[in-house]
Chain A
């Protein structure tokens, strides 16, 4: 079983719609959680950190469920520019080794 698992998609989303997807992690000792965005053939870029109480950044909302060990990302009012692969990232307790999921591909279409 992979440490961080994501639905690879693609999620085909009409422009203006809402899309949500999850990732699950296996290490209950994980401390920090992030969503990174990666455009085709580019480097991952930090989209947002995920806090225990949930947090919002504009059209993006992240939630953390420690009991069930999953993280979610919701995108409202999708834009064409939101088309990308979204990587779920977990930071283990004992240092800064980031563990990535395989990514969820999102395609926003007109």
Chain B
């Protein structure tokens, strides 16, 4: 049973560039959430996708956008990169919130983005 996978594992970009990160959810899961974790801090919620639509969004600018595909995999896009976007980007998958008792989310290994 494959867990959550993310690609690439590491990425180096320069300011102003655009980046796309990818995530495949755990088998059977239909909901994908993205988080940003800066060094020394806890993960911060970016947004969540279900049925190819954004269901919830955290306090992130429109430079951060996403997409979910029919097979439930997801992409996170960040435009006009800033130095402050350097972080570990985590994808978490789950069943649709409210359909299971605990709404447990499982995290992928993350993509470490460095913006120079």
How many inter-chain contacts with C-beta < 8 Å in the A-B complex? Answer: 62
In this complex, the interface size class of chain B, counting residues with CB under 8 Å from chain A, is 20 to 34
Given A6-B42, A46-B104, A99-B45, 17 other A-B contacts at CB below 8 A?
A: A32-B102, A42-B109, A45-B107, A46-B105, A49-B102, A49-B104, A87-B43, A91-B103, A95-B97, A96-B33, A96-B56, A96-B98, A96-B103, A98-B33, A98-B35, A98-B105, A101-B42
Chain A residue contacts of B43, Cβ below 8 A: 44, 87, 98, 100
Chain A residue contacts of B31, Cβ below 8 A: 96
User: Is the C-beta of A97 less than 8 angstroms from some C-beta in chain B?
Assistant: yes
A102–B43 alpha-carbon span in the complex (Å): 8
In this complex, the interface size class of chain A, counting residues with CB under 8 Å from chain B, is 20 to 34
Cβ–Cβ contact A44 & B90, under 8 A: yes
User: Is the C-beta of B71 less than 8 angstroms from some C-beta in chain A?
Assistant: no
User: Is the C-beta of B114 less than 8 angstroms from some C-beta in chain A?
Assistant: no
Cβ–Cβ contact A103 & B42, under 8 A: yes
Cβ–Cβ contact A96 & B42, under 8 A: no
**B residues 67-91 with Cβ under 8 Å of A?**
88, 90
